[in-house]
Amino acid sequence: MSINLEQFSKYSKPGPRYTSYPTALEFNEEFKYEDYINFLKEGKEKLSLYVHLPFCRSACYFCGCNVVFTSKHSKMSRYIEYLKKEIDILATTIDTNREIVQFHFGGGTPTYYSANELDFIMTHLKSKFPNWSKDAEISVEIDPRFFNKEHMEIFKKHGFNRVSFGVQDFDERVQEAVHRIQGFKQTKDAVDLAREYGVESINIDLIYGLPYQSLESFKKTLEKIKELNPNRVAVFNYAHVPWLKKTMRKFDETTLPSPGEKLKIFKYTIDFFTNNGYKMIGMDHFAKPDDELFGAISKGELHRNFQGYTTKGGANLIGIGLTSIGEGKRYYAQNTKDMKVYEEKIDKGLLPFERGVVLDDDDFIRKAVIMELMANFSIDIKRVEKELGIDFKEYFEKDLEKLKEFVDEGLVKIDDKKIEVSETGALLIRNIAMAFDAYMQKYIGNKKSFSKTV
């Protein structure tokens, strides 16, 4: 790929991560519980269910996820009881015949639970929500350090066709610094086990920007990943937010690679995967031709939601469990992050909804445009005009002006029919998408809310 590193570093500025939701719009308290319930009751779209299992045995110091560290199994069992009750409340609120096209177990470490416990959750969920699409995407995040054959039996029983393994980096020095010792053999055994059970798509998560990482050390990790031959790889830019996550203060910041080294690592990673049969998908994923994301990008069918890139756009995402985020056509909703409050709400027969945001017409239009840009690196102006009922250039007159510097640098091309982002521009997609974000101005000056885009 022809990537201009100079341009890349010049334009890469801090910004919102755009992983959970597509603009810097903020969740607020104005979105009331009753409004959320109405959205759930009235929704007709197909369903995407996300169940959060927040527990982990010990902290990986880089972790930015919503995690509860515990060695007490009683705490984890208690959570399952509440999860069961939450599913029951949800089933009395929503039309349970809506078709489920996507399911995801996220964490934390879902496989820190035993196979029997995961079986119990799935069986209960299916008893309340029976209408699963034949080609539903059913996935789970797995930490290879906590994974065995019994887990895989249960995943097979319930039709799991995608698994995602956390690796991050195989370098021993990096692993020691981030408090996550995970051998290559242990990881290979986990990948082989999933393959043996016929899992269609195996993903591996890597992070660049961790302590002690260098281009030379990361090259070795990439060779090992090649040997594992995953269908998909996610290469996340390390989001360092020690003011939000205390464990990130546990390593020496001076051991973090410099922005220049990070750029070299990222550029090398892109070349490595594209030279080894993968296509770059969106801003941080790579997929092999046998993965459905690969075909989706050329057909313009790629979408980005809270769970990452997917071909199942338009489904109503329902977040179940502590901290989970849900997404409807016109809203985002988040469950409480506080276990005590979670239990109290459920004891009262309420869903654990805490806050969210309702999208007005302008938010809705901007979300559609930002999502399209982030997924496909282009905007089909005529199609967007037809679907959203706007005159694109008139509606986004001011926003298009903000894109001018990218156009002048050849990173973005605009004509009457299309906006197209160049290969280097694709790496800057978050910065380019910010031009359409009505909430950016409010955020500028509050850089601590952001992690760096590179």
Ligand X SMILES: C[S@@+](CC[C@H](N)C(=O)[O-])C[C@H]1O[C@@H](n2cnc3c(N)ncnc32)[C@H](O)[C@@H]1O
Binding site for ligand X (CB under 6 A): 62-65, 107, 109, 141, 143, 166, 168, 205, 207, 236, 238-239
Based on CB atoms, which residue is closest to ligand X, 182 or 422?
182
User: By the 8 A CB rule, do 366 and 398 touch?
Assistant: no
User: In the bound complex, what is the minimum distance in angstroms from residue 104's beta carbon to ligand SF4?
Assistant: 14
Is residue 51 involved in binding ligand SF4 (CB under 6 A)?
no
In the window 164-193, what residues touch ligand SF4 (CB under 6 A)?
A: 166
Q: DSSP characters for 190-249?
A: HHHHHHHTT-SEEEEEEEES-TT--HHHHHHHHHHHHHH--SEEEEEEP---TTT-GGGG
How many angstroms separate the CA atoms of 369 and 384, rounded? Answer: 8
- The three-class DSSP label of residue 4 is coil
Q: Which does 169 bind (CB under 5 to 8 A by kind): ligand SF4, ligand X, none?
A: none
Based on CB atoms, which residue is closest to ligand SF4, 37 or 65?
65
Lookup: tokens for 174: 């990096």
Strand 331-335 vs strand 353-358: parallel, antiparallel, or unpaired? antiparallel
- The three-class DSSP label of residue 75 is helix
User: In the bound complex, what is the minimum distance in angstroms from residue 143's beta carbon to ligand X?
Assistant: 3
User: In the bound complex, what is the minimum distance in angstroms from residue 245's beta carbon to ligand X?
Assistant: 7
Instruction: Determine how many CB atoms are found less than 10 A away from the CB of residue 145.
Output: 18
What radius of gyration, in Å, describes the C-alpha atoms of the chain? 22
How many angstroms separate the CA atoms of 306 and 216, rounded? Answer: 33
Cβ contacts of 344 within 8 Å, gap of 6 or more: none
User: In the bound complex, what is the minimum distance in angstroms from residue 240's beta carbon to ligand X?
Assistant: 7
Is residue 68 involved in binding ligand SF4 (CB under 6 A)?
no
Site string for ligand SF4, 8-47 (x = CB under 6 A): ----------------------------------------
Binds ligand SF4 (CB under 6 A): choice among 117, 119, 137, 143: 143
- Label each residue of 345-381 as H, E or C: HHHCCCCCEEEEEECCHHHHHHHHHHHHHHHHCEEEH
Is residue 292 involved in binding ligand SF4 (CB under 6 A)?
no
Is residue 63 involved in binding ligand SF4 (CB under 6 A)?
yes
User: In the bound complex, what is the minimum distance in angstroms from residue 66's beta carbon to ligand SF4?
Assistant: 9
Strand 55-56 vs strand 68-69: parallel, antiparallel, or unpaired? parallel
Is residue 60 involved in binding ligand SF4 (CB under 6 A)?
yes
Site string for ligand SF4, 95-124 (x = CB under 6 A): ------------xxx---------------
User: In the bound complex, what is the minimum distance in angstroms from residue 60's beta carbon to ligand SF4?
Assistant: 3
Is residue 210 involved in binding ligand SF4 (CB under 6 A)?
no
- The pair phi, psi for residue 85, each rounded to 5°, is -65, -40
Instruction: Determine how many CB atoms are found less than 10 A away from the CB of residue 105.
Output: 27
Based on CB atoms, which residue is closest to ligand SF4, 67 or 202?
67
Based on CB atoms, which residue is closest to ligand X, 143 or 354?
143
Q: Which residues bind ligand SF4 (CB under 6 A)?
A: 56, 59-60, 63, 65, 67, 107-109, 143, 166
